[in-house]
Structure 1
């Protein structure tokens, strides 16, 4: 008679491969790292050097690669330090997404009106403070999994709402399919995230809901960089026509 697979301290048992504790999560994290590396290359090659938001997208690429690199390390070997690095890097990635979202949507990078540079500096300080407080709380006060998840979900929900609204307004204005991409990508991410709720024993001892969540973010990451490039090229072309 088959016995049910039990979790130990909230974790499923996995079959190791080449020394990796969760091989599929490592592999799918690597796919995400490659998606960010490819996206970073597109940003550098296809977005004009004088486009003001280019530096924010480049930073997004580096933070994304770092996040998935630490994810690979953590899922290869689950130690206290690798877990913390994974969580802090993931938090940085999510918070940076929240950081640059209003900068793009409300164009806080612009010099006019004069209030925008002030708002940008204030928003930067707020985000730096939030991340420092987040890391400090988890490090020096309490390593709280529920809080960490809630903080990341809250930051993700806010930027998803902003991008969905931006996508709707931009599509209504331009009537071009790529303008609707942010809303479609947000929907994809939400569906992929729902895989985390399944939490089933690993199929074949390797494929679990968490690894599938990692796999589910690869395509929207590639898609997202394509949107950033299209959006930047559209704006740059419009500026050239005005000139």
Structure 2
């Protein structure tokens, strides 16, 4: 095992997503339209961390590509479902469905183009990092705005959790910028970055659960 701390911290992230999936399926009814997006979010997360574990166990060209492509898919999926939740693209008539369909095709096309460029034209680390960071910044900005708006309208403390998770992730990302020599030859900044994403993931699923329950309760009051 080449990078044991990165493998272990990747496992913790996998378990955070697995636990989150259990919360979603146990506490959000199947009839809730956003549930399927949250379930897919968990599966994308679990798959990406499985491939992260494999890559950090043994750095081969094949495991590296699996890790990069799975991580890219997870980030892009987060970018995909964010506006669906925030702008409630799961609701509405034919026009909304057409917009959602277009958005789905656009995101799928972006992922295919991303993989094709890396695989067929140029395995560019800088481009891959920039693409993931840009998508991450865009979705984090949307969630921060949504968090502020929801807290201002509802006054509920849990509405601030997306903002907290975003701030936590930004701080954890600084480990990738301020690198240092590995402690004991294996505990490096990259492995600590993986550790730093466990907490926000746990917060995120708790928020999704609270948000869904609040949404369902609101619909019942309207009825």
- TM-score computed with the length of structure 2 as normaliser: 0.99
2:101 pairs with one of 109, 121, 136: 121
1:23 and 2:4 correspond: yes
1:197-221 Cα shifts (integer Å, max 9, x gaps):
1221110112100000000000110
Answer yes or no: is 1:142 the counterpart of 2:133: no
Displacement after TM superposition at 1:65 (Å): 0.2
Match of 1:103 in 2: 84
User: Whole-Å Cα distance in 1 between the matches of residues 78 and 112 of structure 2?
Assistant: 16
5+ residue gaps, structure 2, are none
Does 2:143 correspond to 1:163? yes
Once residues 135 and 167 of structure 1 are traced to their aligned partners in structure 2, the CA distance between those partners, rounded to angstroms, is 32
Corresponding residue for 1:7?
A: none
Shift of 1:130: 0.2
Deviations 1:158-188 (A, max 9, x none): 0011000000100000000001111111000
Count of residues in correspondence between the two structures: 223
CA–CA distance in structure 1, aligned partners of residues 215 and 105 of structure 2: 27
Gaps of 5+ in 1: 1-19
Distance 1:111 1:208 in 2: 48
Partner SS, residue 25 of structure 2: helix
Q: 2:71 aligns with which of 77, 90, 93?
A: 90
- Taking only aligned residues, the RMSD between alpha carbons, in angstroms, comes to 0.6
More helix by share: 2
User: What TM-score, normalized by structure 1, do the two folds share?
Assistant: 0.91
* Structure 2: distance between partners of 1:77 and 1:164: 37
Q: Say if 2:17 is the partner of 1:51.
A: no
User: Partners of 2:187 and 2:205 in 1: how far apart?
Assistant: 27
Distance 1:46 1:194 in 2: 35
Aligned to 2:23: 42
Are residue 203 (structure 1) and residue 183 (structure 2) matched? yes
CA shift for structure 1 position 48: 1.4
SS in 1 for 2:160: helix
Give, in whole Å, the separation in 2 of the partners of 1:174 and 1:115.
29
Residues 62-110 of structure 1: per-residue CA shift (max 9 Å, x gap): 0100000000000000000000000000000000000000000000011
Query: Which residue does 1:179 correspond to in 2?
Result: 159
Shift of 1:55: 0.1
Structure showing greater radius of gyration is 1
Deviations 1:98-130 (A, max 9, x none): 000000000001124x32111100000000000
